[in-house]
Amino acid sequence: MSKLTMVEALNLAMDQEMARDENVCMLGEDIGINGGVFRTTKDLQKKHGEDRVMDTPLAECGIVGAAIGMAIYGIRPVIEIQFSGFTMQAFDQIEQNMARLRNRTQGKYTLPMVLRTPYGGGIRAVEHHSESREAYWAHTPGLKVVIPSSPRNARALLAASIREDDPIVFYEPKAVYRAFREEVPDEPELMEIGKADIVRAGNDLTLISYGAMMRPCKEAVEDLAEDHNINVELIDLLTISPMDTETLTRSVQKTGRCVIVHEGHRTCGIASEIIARLNESAFEYLEAPIKRITGFDIPFPYFQVEEHFLPESEEIVNAIKETRNWQ
């Protein structure tokens, strides 16, 4: 066990997977000697060589497209797009090929590839560096979308993603990259993709979130337990698509009340999908309308005011109290 930041934990996962399987390679801008703009791939090129940790030209569509070809050829590329806002350059290759090649070829060609990219706000970055557009990829048939929330689950989910035969969009909450440390086992550890985690059991209300928003959610849940004697069940989605509807359903059938928090935009966001599913699977158990706290439907604001855009724990506390008391 070592106490690692998320950046160090992700690095550990990639290092161990590269050591385990010579077909695992990395492509991305500045990921080699520079170790990536967030240093997530630090020293990997030194350890595994330039042939396996490849600095690429500055072209996101090119990175994804080239990785697709390599994956068809039996290699397992792990690619880094510097910021999730830049994946829009690669939308073409993600939609036309990455998401649908298995389907087009009826399984003759598979794409065991992972697209890693830091997402979300909170680090005082310039425009286009704070987007949370996971809904795009969850909306795209053929992809899986994974979003860890802590160093330990980031490591285990990335290692599992690298071993998957289906293409994965792996969103890394950059606000969490160095926010805290957590014990991470030295030996390889995997987590099943497609399973949500019940972080804290409770009976009064179900709070669903993922990624960087898990931190304010945890704060809110602790406050409510201490100050208001409200016992919240907190669920970390971890995999956005395919979504673990069963876990969400069981929880809401138990609590009858639900609040969802994410920083991505509201309209057609992940919360919209969760509410629709719970409407199908737990309608008769609901004792209050499901509430959502999300990013607003405006471009992510410039960093002088970003703190007001991102959901905070106090707002989450209020939403939970409101939903708890709804009659």
Q: List residues with catalytic annotation.
A: 129
> In whole angstroms, what is the distance from residue 240 CA to residue 72 CA?
25
User: Closest separation between CB of residue 235 and other proteins, Å?
Assistant: 17
> In whole angstroms, what is the distance from residue 112 CA to residue 28 CA?
17
- Structure tokens that stand for 309 in this block: 């855009």
Cβ–Cβ < 8 Å for 133, 157: no
Question: By the criterion CB under 8 A, which residues form the site for other proteins?
Answer: 25, 51-52, 54, 56-57, 59, 61-62, 64-75, 92-93, 96-97, 100, 102-110, 141-142, 144, 164-166, 194, 242-243, 245-246
Counting every residue written for the chain, the total comes to 327
> In whole angstroms, what is the distance from residue 202 CA to residue 29 CA?
44
User: Of 30 and 92, which CB lies nearer to other proteins in the complex structure?
Assistant: 92
Tokens 């979003």 found at = 147
User: Closest separation between CB of residue 127 and other proteins, Å?
Assistant: 22
User: Of 44 and 71, which CB lies nearer to other proteins in the complex structure?
Assistant: 71
User: Of 3 and 128, which CB lies nearer to other proteins in the complex structure?
Assistant: 128
Cβ–Cβ < 8 Å for 230, 324: yes
The torsion angles phi and psi of 125, rounded to 5 degrees, stand at -100, 165
User: Closest separation between CB of residue 315 and other proteins, Å?
Assistant: 30
> In whole angstroms, what is the distance from residue 311 CA to residue 295 CA?
7
User: Closest separation between CB of residue 142 and other proteins, Å?
Assistant: 5
User: Of 164 and 222, which CB lies nearer to other proteins in the complex structure?
Assistant: 164
